[in-house]
Structure 1
């Protein structure tokens, strides 16, 4: 059981590294140490405890979102569960108005190569601290993605949300004229984890805060400024060379944004 627990709690290590790290970016530079980031165990509030109003809200949202199975929102959540690095960036194409291609952004890859290990370590520390069970544990309720590798007790905070909203914060910084729709898409990405049934609502909210606290430091880190400036040029160059976005996909994302799962019950 101990071995299974460790594997589950470290699932974020695999998923986040796969999403944001390139095996070889071609840009020299040291990774950012975890100690340079805020300790998320201090930053994040505790998750709701059993019997609390917060847990009752989490329970209600989990139950209500099971009815979304088979809907367009469910399908979007399934897509958002894919955390490979190229797909994660491409998920923000509708938000910026043109298809984003990681192959054309080597400096953006380099940035995430350097920061992913620190984010991974800080997030894993919180998961270990709270050891929170995922909402599907002990139920026969559907999830939109496989749960075999998620870890039954690694729910808080959401690592997918940390990755997705972290990407949103970077893109909003580099393309400030697109910040509104980019951050909206980052919110929807996090809410997809609630739709999937693999995270509680409060896990996702903690994921937003986790990403924000980390990026508040990383986007100002002097050693990363060269990559960030070059990444901005790469992203803007794509506006002149990349194909337009898919209208149907963009409408699905707008519908998801208009029906937020974070509203008060």
Structure 2
């Protein structure tokens, strides 16, 4: 694709979300009614709102972020490494604040970009909405008000793969498979996250899953630009 981007200026990320409450019965009556209205189109008439609640995490109004994993490339003495870290926990406001602090101290310059798979439709707006809900002032990289499309500091690997075809959805798993990017099989996928979080209470397992997806996004951008993939030995957890 010959992307005119300095790979060192890109912060790759992925988020994991769950419903705000573990069970439908924990919701207030007004939230139940609002959820029913919000999901009416997706549910269709034959599915009751409570039977659809397991999917509440995909909406920022009814879900919350439990993990934000990030990765960035660094080069020293002509050796490229990928540094990976995560912000996670039960305190969503702290997770968001820690992520904001990273943006404002290390990825705040005009040339810096955020990159995620389907990020423009999910990750970026979800983070922004949850920050507003928690009364956290948006960092510049997420405050898009008044910006023209070419001024938005976001890259989306799914959008790049579309080549302008707005009907085309391709999962991260499919892309890594067909493009020959190593992607170890996980014991969970996105549909398992809520169960692992609420029932198994295994946040570390979710963080590991989130970091693997973030690494895959970082590899995708290299692949799109016809560059050599990063080797596992050069991936550093920080």
Larger helix fraction of residues: 1
TM-score using structure 1 length: 0.25
- Structure with greater proportional strand content: 2
